[in-house]
Structure 1
């Protein structure tokens, strides 16, 4: 069975960037694509109160045709899925049907709605699906698979979910050079080695030596990680998302959300079990 890569699309430039990037990843493992479009019913918009049911059906048919046309243009096997459900329900349905390696989402380059996008899209994906999530900035210039990884680790141990560990074959194809980044306190003892050993134990990111640990001091966590990404010239940031990251309304205040919003490089979010 060819592994599936689900790409959320609304036909925007950001979604197209995420799609092009994901194609390169899927091609490495003989994967297939699933284009998911969550249809926004115009009848739900106040200014569209006069829209009739035939026009709604016509709009849906047009979206289906656009999805099918885009799928035919792609070099990998591609399925399309149009949903009229809530995003969380649509994602849950696609995940149950395809059991993808990851879900991919684009991030607009200039948008005042980025925080809302992350809360309403990335949050439900992580909370409902518990699958790896890839967020690709619209401005990201490269389509090639990543070679220089930064894994952001805190001072606590963790175990990855089976869905996160399933990315092992894909990541191995990258043959990445990986650095584990830890942002420690300005004063006092460091717990960097705890997070580093947890990353090394999962054996997902290639060989790690003691020189693979990079610690930042005297910076806020998200800002320190972003600075490390730039200094190390990384082309992918890996973030470990614990359950409390996106439950009980905490997602929009978490370090994960800040990194999704501000990272200049694609971000791969891997759910952990604790």
Structure 2
């Protein structure tokens, strides 16, 4: 995670995300690319104001943390600017703010985070406004695909290695489902999957978790709270797979409802 892209609108949400990006970059000695989009009808006044704010952010980070920081302003919408920046910078990670469960998602920058989660070809770390930076010591990975390739989980274990974190891999079973076979099959598969990851990443403490309940988000949130999980990871399908609870749409919803950072890792079905 050497190249980190941080979109900003200079809001408290974006400031919180930038702090997370700085903390990760300090550990990886990576570079930070801060980008901002200005609607064309608001130029040039908005551009001049944004440029002053961007330079202030850059100076503050470089002086305090001795990190490499780049900034760029695009004459486009926020979402289009971020999409362009992804192709230009080819980042390893995107860090964005989201309001989490503390407010109405449609009114804030966090709604754009959901759009980017659905479009991005690289991992997106969604940071809730109420979340305070802490080194992640417990990371939970929600999966429903037990055939994913090792490279898809690499970002998870890169973070785990950086902070000596334990990783929980979890699958969800709907208890309202009449098929008892699904429950038994999930329990068996998550154990096998966990053991496979232990072989691939022997230096990381890994636990297999079988979550069961009537509602996925409620069951997952209860587990996160009870076990003091520091980061949630969802391996998401960018295409809308019918019947998949871990597609980009579900991940976007989780980014609006969790109070801990959510790392969305895209899985491409080629």
TM-score interval, normalised by the smaller of the two chains: 0.7 to 0.9
User: What is the CA–CA distance in structure 2 between the aligned matches of 1:60 and 1:241, rounded to whole Å?
Assistant: 35
- Give the total of aligned pairs: 254
Q: Pick which of 58-67 and 178-187 moved more.
A: 178-187
Residue-by-residue CA offset, 1:99-144 (whole Å, 9 max, x unaligned): 21210111126432348855544323542x3110001111112x23
On the 8 A contact 2:99/2:110 being kept in 1, the answer is: no
Provide the C-alpha distance between the structure 1 equivalents of 2:203 and 2:110, rounded to a whole number of angstroms: 30
Q: After superposition, where does 1:167-206 map in structure 2 within 5 Å?
A: 168-186=157-175, 188-189=180-181, 190=183, 191-195=186-190, 197-198=192-193, 201=196, 203=200
Whether the 8 Å contact between 2:121 and 2:266 is mirrored in structure 1 is yes
**What residue number does 1:73 align with?**
60
1:61 pairs, out of 45, 48, 56, with 48
C-alpha RMSD over aligned residues? 3.1
Partners of 1:198 and 1:271 in 2: CA distance: 19
Question: TM-score of the superposition, structure 2-length normalised?
Answer: 0.81
Of 170, 193, 214, the residue aligned with 1:219 is 214
Counterparts of 1:251 and 1:84, CA distance in 2? 34
Alignment gaps of 5+ in structure 2? none
Which of 181, 191, 207 is 2:204 aligned to? 207
Task: Note closer, same or farther for the CA distance 1:4–1:196 as it changes in structure 2 (3 Å cut).
Answer: farther
In the alignment, the residues of structure 2 paired with residue 257 and residue 223 of structure 1 have an alpha-carbon distance, to the nearest angstrom, of 15
CA deviation after TM superposition for structure 1 residue 8, in Å: 1.3
Match of 2:122 among 114, 131, 145: 131
Q: Residue 245 of structure 1 contacts residue 256 of structure 1 at CA under 8 Å; is this kept in 2?
A: no
1:113 aligns with 2:105: yes
Q: Which residue of the other structure, out of 140, 146, 151, is the alignment partner of 1:157? A: 146
TM-superposed deviation, 1:58? 2.2
Distance 1:194 1:229 in 2: 21
1:226 deviation in Å?
1.1
For residues 19 and 86 of structure 1, do their structure 2 counterparts lie closer, same or farther at Cα, with a shift above 3 Å needed? same
Change (3 A) 1:204 1:135: farther
Equivalence map 1:32-111=2 (5 Å) = 32-42=31-41, 56-74=43-61, 75=65, 76-108=67-99, 110-111=102-103
CA distance change for structure 1 residues 251 and 257 in 2, over 3 Å: closer, same or farther? farther
Runs ≥4 in structure 1, deviation > 6 angstroms? 250-253
Note if contact 2:8-2:14 (Cα within 8 Å) is conserved in structure 1. Answer: yes
Contact 1:28 1:170 in 2 (8 A): no
Compared CA separation, residues 222 and 96, structure 1 to 2 (3 A): same
The alignment partner of 1:94 has SS state of helix
1:131 alignment partner, SS class: coil
Consecutive unaligned residues in structure 1, runs of 5 or more: 44-55
Asked if residue 260 in structure 1 is aligned to residue 255 in structure 2, the reply is: yes
